[in-house]
Structure 1
Amino acid sequence: MRRPLSRLKLAAMVAAAASALFVAGAALGPTAGPGRGATTPAGPGARISPDDRLGMTIARQQKRLREVPGDWRAWAALSSAYLEKARVSADPTYYPKAEGTARESLTRRAEGNADALVALGALANARHDFAAARDQARAALAVNPASADAYGVLADAFTQLGDAAGATDAVQHMLDLRPGLPAYARASYDLELRGLVDQAADLMRRALDNAVDPYDTAFCHNQLGDLAWQVGDVAGAERAYAAALAADPESIAARRGQARTAAATGRTDVALSAYAELTRRTPTPSDLLEYADLLRAAGQDAQAAEQLRLATAAHTLFTANGGVDGLAAAALALADNRPADAVEAARAEWARRQHVDVADTLAWALHRAGQDTEASAYAKRVAATGARAAGYAYHLGMIELALGQRDEARASLTRALQTNPHFSPIDAPTARKALADLGATP
């Protein structure tokens, strides 16, 4: 029997929240999940994939607009469908289509059109223009203060801009208006960013208890797998990813997770094969760079260079379709041993948004460029958030080591490996060697 979601007082978990944060109690509703599936007309229990479902949605909205071209809501719905198609397929060429249909919706109805404003805000988030996303969400809320979707866009924008209090407040409004998987996922991430991984996992387990759609179930399992991986629970992560694939055999996130856990448990050939298939299906810069790291660790430098080339091409495609991603640009520069370019890209990204990942990337780029004093300031900003990613602690430790702060470096590198001894096929062995040189073991 599924138990209803009880009212959760997240403020007790989030020390930085100034006001009480309550999650309204309700089961996940029919619009719950970001990967929500549907039943086919063939009969009860028959399923279609999210990609097929999106194709049906797009075709249905296109048909509607051929019949009623003035339907501004249908134009906005088509925009949202194009954007989801871009996410599922990792194909940013859908972004211009999403923008064009949202703007057509506004042309058809300029006043009171919160749907189109939400669609444009979600598109801005996808393109990493988080300031624009924030502004579009606020404009949508001025039209419709009860729009949970607008608060979702606002929460995502505030999170990436580094406004933790604003993000928490937006998530709270979303939870109050429409408790469901999109809201619970954002609340879980809000906790995770503060290092409250156990509480974040508890929230996702509560959401899982109430998930009825197989794709929502897979999403929850994947989130639990990622949280387990973050704290080095490889066995727990493996179980979660296997459960996700049982719910949705096509889950990209689960296959990514299984590739990581295979590498962590010494099954390098399995991991390489999994990454090859994963990047063939969704060639994103982040996945291609992970694949390249594993290839380098396996001594396959030529193949790693090819993945770097493909990652560069994927990033170029993203920017050609209106995206801005200084983090990917910095990561590509670092992988190509161009630290000065990495610093330039990371500084530009920090000027746009002050997310913890940006601070960490800028710190590491500065370290690689030999600017360790400045790097230390950014790495300490990351540590002050409480975020528990092993990579953050590793970067801080290596910067401290470069500055001659041996005791601090020993503590940070130990924390990195205790958090997740398998966090990177390249950096984890480097951390162990550095600790050995310092006369310590994790």
Structure 2
Amino acid sequence: MRRILSAVVLAAALLTAAALVTLPGRAPQPGPVAAARPADLLADRIARTQQRLRDVPGDWPGWAGLGAAYLEQARITADPGLYAKAEQAAGRSLKLRRDGNSDALVVLGALANARHDFGTARDRARQAIAANEHGADAYGVLADALTQLGDAAGATTAVQRMLDLRPGLAAYTRASYDLELRGERAEATALMRRALDGAVDPHDIAFCRVQLGDLAFGRGDLDTAQVSYTAAAAADPSSIAARHGLARLQAARGDLSGALAGYAELTARLPQTTTLLEYAGLLRAAGRTADAGRQLRLAAASERLFTANGGVDGLVTAALALAADRPGDAVTAARAEWSRRQHPDVADTLAWALHAAGRDAEALPYARRAVATGGRPAAYAYHLGMIHLGLGDRAAARAELGRALATNPYFSPVDAPIARRALLAAGGTR
């Protein structure tokens, strides 16, 4: 991992203001875009590409580009119904030219990642690399897939290759996340700042600032997170991620009414399953159980739409089951997800579902697995601490609950107060 940091320092001189950067899962956009919203730019790009393909139907790179644009449009609009269009366009490209068509394979790999079919994404990325071993985007798709599959060493190797081939924002952001998963937060932050230094598009600038805000929030630095999220919103007023960060900050600072208003606007603009779940949790904390139930039903509908379009997300299924007080169903969903991929998030979710089901002895190995890479976000430590407490190991519970609150005392407006009470009950002093 240290080699990644060295390579980044050496590669920084290669960045220029005109460099083309590609975010994870994001297709390149031509030209300056400061005055327009991403959705408008994409709609225009798609229309122009469609017209060209009507004129030149054999343009196989054009079909791959159209698939990438549909995939990006699906990301921005949270509409998985566009996945089929992306798949059809990339498939058309492959039919027109199979040999050496790494562009279409990269799109299909990115689509598989978006659907959380990480095994297929890995295979598509490897096919793309076989077709063009110098294609940096294929290594990005591979890194994303291997990260989620729990192959940390393989993901690091793929990120390093991407850095070697095309140092820039797409590679730097992946390398930053790779470091974060290992608990090297200072290095991850430094690398994300380097990514920000190379960003010229306002939407890319906002993306980097949101990531810096998330890193600051993860270590409990609310003031720095506030500066980062505010700067992201200023760079790109349409940024949903920036609004999400600011709403989370309001909740962390104890401004429940402000947070609820922020989440209401956020979910109205883009009803994503994860933010709907967070909103439901805050509504429940405010005593608005009927409103919370409505948000949970919307989250469930969003998940059904995702799965109807080829997606699989056992973590969301488990979270929905936990929110509905169905721990047995949560265990089933999380265990199925674990059979597909061994990412720390999956280990943590399975552990927490088992804890909710009263099965702490079974939960403990998974909770330990979640923190084994060194990342140890506050929520992981909190879950491990509560599992230790459930097993009667007060000393271990004190250590983990104390670590959770030391890492980020604001990690959850619902769970952080529980962690403080549990720490006192276990004989702690925080």
TM, length-normalised to structure 2: 0.95
Is residue 30 from structure 1 mapped to residue 19 from structure 2 by the alignment? yes
Is residue 354 from structure 1 mapped to residue 346 from structure 2 by the alignment? no
Residues 267-316 of structure 1 show CA distances to partners (whole Å, capped at 9, x for unaligned) of 21111111011111111111111111111111111111111111000000
Measured in 2, the distance between the counterparts of 1:204 and 1:191 equals 10
Measured in 2, the distance between the counterparts of 1:298 and 1:441 equals 28
- Structure 1 residue aligned with 2:402: 414
Residue type at the aligned position of 2:238: E
Deviation at 1:13, TM superposition (A): 6.7
Residue type at the aligned position of 2:21: A
Summarize the Cα distance change of 1:117–1:12 in structure 2 as closer, same or farther, 3 Å threshold.
closer
Structure 1: runs of 5 or more not aligned:
1-8, 15-19
Alignment of 1:59-138 (within 5 A): 59-138=47-126
Deviation at 1:57, TM superposition (A): 1.3
- Structure 2 residue aligned with 1:390: 378
Residue type at the aligned position of 1:315: E
Deviation at 1:417, TM superposition (A): 1.0
Residue type at the aligned position of 1:77: G
Deviation at 1:38, TM superposition (A): 6.1
Measured in 2, the distance between the counterparts of 1:371 and 1:362 equals 11
- Structure 2 residue aligned with 1:232: 220
- Structure 2 residue aligned with 1:155: 143
- Structure 1 residue aligned with 2:319: 331
Measured in 2, the distance between the counterparts of 1:11 and 1:27 equals 19
Secondary structure of the structure 1 residue equivalent to 2:350: helix
Is residue 201 from structure 1 mapped to residue 193 from structure 2 by the alignment? no
Measured in 1, the distance between the counterparts of 2:371 and 2:108 equals 34
- Structure 2 residue aligned with 1:440: 428
Contact 1:23 1:179 in 2 (8 A): no
Residue type at the aligned position of 1:48: A
Residue type at the aligned position of 1:10: R
Secondary structure of the structure 2 residue equivalent to 1:283: coil
Residues 184-203 of structure 1 show CA distances to partners (whole Å, capped at 9, x for unaligned) of 10000000000111110001
Residue type at the aligned position of 2:3: A
Secondary structure of the structure 1 residue equivalent to 2:98: coil
Contact 2:34 2:202 in 1 (8 A): no
Deviation at 1:33, TM superposition (A): 4.2
Measured in 1, the distance between the counterparts of 2:134 and 2:31 equals 29
Is residue 142 from structure 1 mapped to residue 130 from structure 2 by the alignment? yes
Is residue 375 from structure 1 mapped to residue 363 from structure 2 by the alignment? yes
Residue type at the aligned position of 1:11: R
Contact 2:4 2:175 in 1 (8 A): no
Deviation at 1:388, TM superposition (A): 2.8
Is residue 10 from structure 1 mapped to residue 6 from structure 2 by the alignment? no
Structure 1 vs Structure 2 CA RMSD? 1.7
Deviation at 1:30, TM superposition (A): 3.3
Secondary structure of the structure 2 residue equivalent to 1:386: coil
Residue type at the aligned position of 1:408: A
Summarize the Cα distance change of 1:114–1:33 in structure 2 as closer, same or farther, 3 Å threshold.
closer
Is residue 295 from structure 1 mapped to residue 283 from structure 2 by the alignment? yes
TM, length-normalised to structure 1: 0.93
Deviation at 1:24, TM superposition (A): 2.3
Contact 1:76 1:115 in 2 (8 A): yes
Measured in 2, the distance between the counterparts of 1:296 and 1:325 equals 24
The size of the alignment, in residue pairs, is: 425
Residue type at the aligned position of 2:70: Y
The structure 2 residue matched to 1:243, chosen from 231, 238, 244, is: 231
Residues 242-263 of structure 1 show CA distances to partners (whole Å, capped at 9, x for unaligned) of 1111111111111000001011
Secondary structure of the structure 1 residue equivalent to 2:80: coil
Alignment of 1:35-50 (within 5 A): 47-50=35-38
Measured in 1, the distance between the counterparts of 2:30 and 2:111 equals 24
Contact 1:158 1:167 in 2 (8 A): yes
Secondary structure of the structure 2 residue equivalent to 1:131: helix
Secondary structure of the structure 2 residue equivalent to 1:57: helix
Deviation at 1:419, TM superposition (A): 1.0
Summarize the Cα distance change of 1:69–1:177 in structure 2 as closer, same or farther, 3 Å threshold.
same
Deviation at 1:441, TM superposition (A): 2.9
Measured in 2, the distance between the counterparts of 1:291 and 1:23 equals 43
Summarize the Cα distance change of 1:83–1:197 in structure 2 as closer, same or farther, 3 Å threshold.
same
Summarize the Cα distance change of 1:228–1:37 in structure 2 as closer, same or farther, 3 Å threshold.
farther
Residues 209-257 of structure 1 show CA distances to partners (whole Å, capped at 9, x for unaligned) of 2322211111111110000000100111001001111111111111000
- Structure 2 residue aligned with 1:402: 390
Measured in 2, the distance between the counterparts of 1:339 and 1:233 equals 33
